Chain A
Amino acid sequence: MGRYVLRRLLQLVPVFLGTTFLIYFMVWALPGDPLAGKCGDQTCPPAFVERMREEYGLDRSIVVQYLTYLGNLLRGDFGENFRGQEVATLIANAYPVTIKLAVVALVIQAIIGLTAGVLTGLRPGGFLDNVVLTATLFLVAVPVFVTGYVLQSVLGLRLGLIPPTVPADPGFVDLIVPGYVLGSLSLAYVARLTRTSIAENLRADYVRTATAKGLTRSRVVGVHLTRNSAIPVVTFLGADFGTLMGGAIVTEGIFNVRGIGGLIFGSIQRLDGVVVTGVVVLLVMIYLLANLVVDITYALLDPRIRLD
């Protein structure tokens, strides 16, 4: 187990280096002069260009720049953007909201998706099964931004049930609708995954044994069946956590949540490469670690799986 984790962590290193270098290269090396347009309509005075080049190391080769950046990153220093703002501070301000949003989305997915999946998986082919199947098809087909706008204008503007945009420092309740929007696609996958898993395990030997020894149906389903069928679902949810944070940008834009999505989008429009690299590097790291944790959880939940 320990050796497996160590090997996976070592495998992460080249992937992490490759991904971050790719991002760094695209942001810094390609789009021309990063100092262009920093002085309004006029061209920048040579003295200013000189100083900025030196300060940010722009006169050195991209590989050296990248290695310097990486070195600073390992010491926890995300650097400063051209306006002198600490990237770490910007991220620290924006990140908690995005995490909250992703957690809300995950909880909604788990509750609705698991319930729908268990109910339909117990009676495949029934009326409820067809209803849920159709519903998941629509959830998959409707893009997140359409769901977002429709819910915002119907619930927020026409019916007035929710505020159309989320307040500056939102609580969990404020984030329920945006969280649903963010998680709607994965919600459909969770429901289908649970359904398949339950329907498959329904005929398993251990379920028959549990029924044969006289347990009530609710105990068979609730304890034996659901717990075993939830394994693929749990791993899906874990891997989805990283995806949700990267994908939150659309939802955050619609509901005006001041999270990581807004930060990165604004930074790209302002050509603020330092912030873009910082945020993407962080998200890549979380994404990779989430996948690692999922693989380990898989083995913990299912003793039949051996990691070595």
Chain B
Amino acid sequence: MTDPTTAVGTGGRTRSLGADAWHDLRRRPLFLVAAGLITFLLVMAAFPQLFTSVDPTVGDLSRAREDPSAQAWFGYDHLGRDVFARTVYGTRVSIVVGVLATTAVVGVGAVMGLVAGFAGGWVDALLARIADVFFGLPFILGAIVVLATFRASVGQSVIGISGLVIGTIGLLSWPIVMRIMRSAAISARSQDYVKAARALGASPWRIIYRHMLPNTIAPVMVYATIALAAFIGAEATLSYLGVGLRDPVVSWGVMISEAQSYLRTSPHLLLFPGAFLVVTVLAFVLLGDAVRDAFDPKGR
């Protein structure tokens, strides 16, 4: 995985690991299903107006907790808001939080891991210990403490609340990427191509950026796809606990959290956001599985 892997393709041309993986991916039915689902969800996240013309935040108490009907496909919630509209609008927040949290985790973790792996010595020891500190915090407990601590300081704005959740997930998850990247960087450091670059007088940053990064990023990308699914679930779990996203923000986790008290009488309040959540996470898990298999030369 570490040297610039090339494979002879069917047409006789050489392909990079990435191109080879892409070639492999396009033939997997599970990948196509997952990609189709994700495209659909992304469209829904980008243009919720295409799917519903109802405002998700307008409630009418006279129709509170009405069952699904032709008028409102998914029924109304405890404040008489349209559950279908809320579910559609919730897609955006859930996916944005997942994507941004993954970006943050990969960004911070990859940089720290590369630097630690490349530098070695005391820099490596220090960064590894810092990572251990954050790694030692159990995820949900740590997240509850962080979110409860900063809850008051972000106020009621949608961006503030979402940003806090993204930051919390990032803060507690980057050590995993850092460890993956660090071990990849350590094995890459002693490879011939790095030595060659060094002998040619390349600066450390150039070696890291131009030579090591392209050859160590594959395992991190695989983790990132799987982590994306996990982070969408994590956002929902934290919102469900009442410490994550909250009311002005519309998300599936918030909806499930509000549905808790009406579980016996109105199970549809839980069912619809829950089903969307499960399908979304499933789509990203499938994608992650397919990507991992495609990047793993052993499995071919």
Confirm or deny: B236 has a beta carbon within 8 angstroms of a beta carbon on chain A.
Answer: yes
A23 touches B (CB below 8 Å)? yes
Does any Cβ of A come within 8 Å of B146's Cβ? yes
Query: Are B237 and A138 closer than 8 Å at their CB atoms?
Result: no
Residues A149 and B270 in contact in the complex (CB < 8 Å), given A19-B137, A30-B150, A247-B139: yes
Interface check B247, CB cutoff 8 A? no
Smallest CB separation, B142 vs chain A (Å): 8
Contact B145 A23 (CB under 8 A): yes
Nearest CB in chain A to that of B273: its residue: A146
Query: Does residue A276 face the partner (Cβ distance < 8 Å to B)?
Result: yes
Residues of B within 8 A of A276 (CB): 145
Interface size counted on chain A using CB atoms at 8 A: 44
Whole-angstrom distance from the CB of A260 to the nearest CB of chain B? 9
User: Is the C-beta of A92 less than 8 angstroms from some C-beta in chain B?
Assistant: no
Number of A-B contacts (CB under 8 A): 120
Q: A243 on the interface (CB 8 Å rule)?
A: yes
Interchain CB contact under 8 A, A143 and B149: no
Q: Is B233 an interface residue (CB 8 A)?
A: yes
Residues of A within 8 A of B79 (CB): none
Contact A268 to B145, CB < 8 A, known contacts A149-B270, A253-B241: yes
**Closest partner residue, chain A, to B267 (CB atom):** A153
- In the complex, residue of chain A having the shortest beta-carbon distance to the beta carbon of B226: A140
Question: Is A287's CB under 8 angstroms from B149's CB?
Answer: no
Cβ contacts under 8 Å, B260 to chain A: 149
B-binding residues in A (CB < 8 A):
11, 14-16, 18-19, 22-23, 26-27, 30-32, 137-138, 140-146, 149-150, 153, 157, 242-243, 245-247, 249-250, 253, 264-265, 268, 276, 279-280, 283-284, 287-288
| A-B contact list, 22 entries, CB within 8 Å | A15-B129, A22-B137, A27-B145, A27-B149, A30-B149, A138-B282, A141-B229, A141-B278, A143-B233, A143-B237, A143-B240, A143-B277, A146-B256, A146-B274, A149-B270, A157-B264, A242-B138, A245-B138, A246-B139, A283-B141, A284-B136, A287-B138
6 nearest CB pairs, A to B: A246-B138, A18-B133, A141-B282, A141-B281, A15-B132, A19-B136
